[in-house]
Amino acid sequence: MDDDNEDAAGQTDADTAAAADGDRFVVGVHVTDDQLRFVVHVPSEIDSGWRDPEAFQQLVADVTWEHLDQEATLQTIAATGEPGETVTLGHVTLQPGGTVVDAELTALTAEE
């Protein structure tokens, strides 16, 4: 058995331990023929402190765009993304009170 055991959701022990400090939301941008849509992957087991899905998804978006240049990121995705593709930007870990525990987000460049 190795140190990075995976649970049924495919998370390693380290991911699960980090999730104990907040909920980890994977964020991306979905490309269609005529628009870009910011998407938030909500974990199947989420802290019961999150009462309003729209509010926490907006919080996740706000944190994402505080870390990344929104205009440059969306321009890059629009220029390089294919319809039907979802470009993953990274993840944000938050506590229900809005405290940012962790944010690992990648700024995209035209070469990607």
Q: Is residue 52 part of a domain?
A: yes
Q: Is residue 14 part of a domain?
A: no
List, for residues 52-105, the tens digit of each pLDDT value.
888 889 999 999 999 999 999 999 999 999 999 999 999 999 998 889 999 999
Q: Is residue 1 part of a domain?
A: no
Q: Is residue 21 part of a domain?
A: no
What range defines the domain where residue 54 resides?
33-105
Q: Is residue 2 part of a domain?
A: no
pLDDT at 14: 42
Q: Is residue 89 part of a domain?
A: yes
Edge-first strand order for the sheet with 86-94 is 36-41, 23-31, 86-94, 100-105
Q: Is residue 3 part of a domain?
A: no
Domains held by the chain: number: 1
pTM: 0.76
More confident residue, 7 or 29: 29
pLDDT at 11: 39
List, for residues 28-46, the tens digit of each pLDDT value.
999 999 999 999 998 888 8
Q: Is residue 7 part of a domain?
A: no
